[in-house]
Amino acid sequence: MSEHPRDTADVLTLPGWRPLHSGKVRDLHLSEADETRVLVVASDRISAYDHVLPTTIPDKGAVLTALSLWWFERLEGWELGVGHHVLETATGPGGVPAAVAGRAMVCRRLEMLPVECIARGYLTGSGLEDYRATGAVGDTELPPGLVDGDRLRAPIFTPTTKAEVGHHDEAVNLAAVAEMVGDDLAHRLRQVTLALYARAAELAAERGILLADTKLELGLDPAAGDALTLGDEVLTPDSSRFWPAETWSPGRSQPSFDKQYVRDWLTSPASGWQRDGAEPPPELPTEVVERTRERYVEAYQRLTGRTWS
């Protein structure tokens, strides 16, 4: 778990667990009985443009948790040999407290790596901004003439640093990652990130969804000889761009099952907010909240084939 830290004073008190860390969306609690176990609680908070917004999205934390668990199950034991950190999801003694049932996981405590591992299969978002400015995204030079939503010839690895709340993650190249974690581990992160992206994109495509890009969090598990381990959440609308395949059309902003709807409203005249100004983002209107919830739920339902209730 490596969420950008917030003040833990307002984090829910849970018997048997000590508040350890509060991120933009998730809160981390340390087991009072076993410090190798942590409780990862997904809240209904939503962030955009390096701000935690003042409005929550109902059911968001539960959707994030359920979808992460669905993906962890499908990636577990895959040929890369990278496990995940989840230990327990049931409520009861030693498990998830009833107060956060459905939106929390008991996990192994990892030594998280100081790198956001991002894979991109399509050109959009900050990658598109970089391409328009330099003709490249990270270390990768791209052909001229690409437009928003274009599929890349091959997925690319575009890591970033991990910034504090209110600050922006900075793009870094593979050499910079090697300086942070060592050459061998840097290349392993690139390999794992691209391979997991490819596998997830394949599974999503079977369900009519394009995985435009995704961010992974990886750490080392001290209890398993510092084995590289997938942590935090995985392949949710918070960490990924999901596009419906049937409406994909390069050259414009794509409809999506993620928080892009919130980003678009915040940067529209309707919000009255200046992204580069000093004022924090405003409250989200009811319609934006409802539409955003619908997108998170639809992502879950289309990917898993299950009905959200």
Measured in whole angstroms, the distance separating CA 224 from the mean position of its chain's CA atoms is 24
**Structure confidence at residue 164 as a pLDDT band (50, 70, 90):** low
The domain made up of 17-109 has a fold known as: Phosphorylase Kinase; domain 1 (3.30.200)
Question: Would you say residue 93 has pLDDT above 70?
Answer: yes
Q: What CATH code is assigned to 117-276? A: 3.30.470.20
Do the domains spanning 17-109 and 117-276 agree at the CATH topology level? no
Residue (of 55, 26, 51, 104) closest to 291 by Cα position: 55
Strands 227-231 and 83-84, how do they pair?
parallel
pLDDT of residue 76: 76
pLDDT digits (tens, 9 = 90+) for 99-145: 999 999 999 999 999 999 999 999 999 999 999 999 999 889 999 99
Measured distance CA(179)–CA(307) in Å, rounded: 45
Please state the domain extents for the chain. Answer: 17-109, 117-276
What is the overall mean pLDDT for the chain?
92
